[in-house]
């Protein structure tokens, strides 16, 4: 009898356009989160390489924290994840929402 299993891809396309595998992901001990590492985790979850629960467990993230990374990637791409630019991109988004 075959169990109902989800097949995961061996790799997904990372934020820089290169293949990304589980071995390429940041180590679970990562404490310094640069934009590229955040985007790699978002790409891994979006591509099915990791589940949201696995990513949160592996990196000790809250769902809200991961969701904020995903929102910034969706709105502004990799630059949106840069800590020094968060205020700028938040302001841009708020202005766009207000004009719609």
29 lies in some domain: no
61 lies in some domain: yes
Chain centroid, CA 98 distance in Å: 26
30 lies in some domain: no
Q: In this predicted model, what pLDDT tens digit does every residue of 57-82 receive, in sequence order?
A: 999 999 999 999 999 999 888 888 88
Domain span at residue 92?
Answer: 36-99
6 lies in some domain: no
53 lies in some domain: yes
Q: For residue 19, list its beta bridge partners.
A: 13
Q: In this predicted model, what pLDDT tens digit does every residue of 2-55 receive, in sequence order?
A: 455 578 899 999 999 999 999 999 999 999 999 999 999 999 999 999 999 999
Domain count, the chain: 1
Q: In this predicted model, what pLDDT tens digit does every residue of 34-44 receive, in sequence order?
A: 999 999 999 99
- The Cα-based distances of 17 to 13, 14, 36, 39, 40 in angstroms read 6, 5, 12, 11, 11
């Amino acid at each position: 009898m075959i169990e109902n299993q989800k097949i995961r891809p061996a790799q997904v396309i990372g934020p820089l356009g290169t293949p990304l595998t589980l071995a390429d992901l940041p180590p679970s001990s990562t404490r310094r989160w640069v934009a590229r590492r955040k985007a790699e985790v978002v790409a891994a979850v979006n591509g099915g390489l990791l589940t949201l629960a696995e990513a949160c467990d592996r990196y000790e993230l809250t769902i809200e924290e991961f969701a904020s990374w995903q929102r910034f990637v969706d709105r502004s791409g990799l630059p949106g994840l840069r800590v020094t630019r968060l205020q700028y991109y938040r302001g841009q988004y708020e202005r766009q929402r207000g004009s719609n």
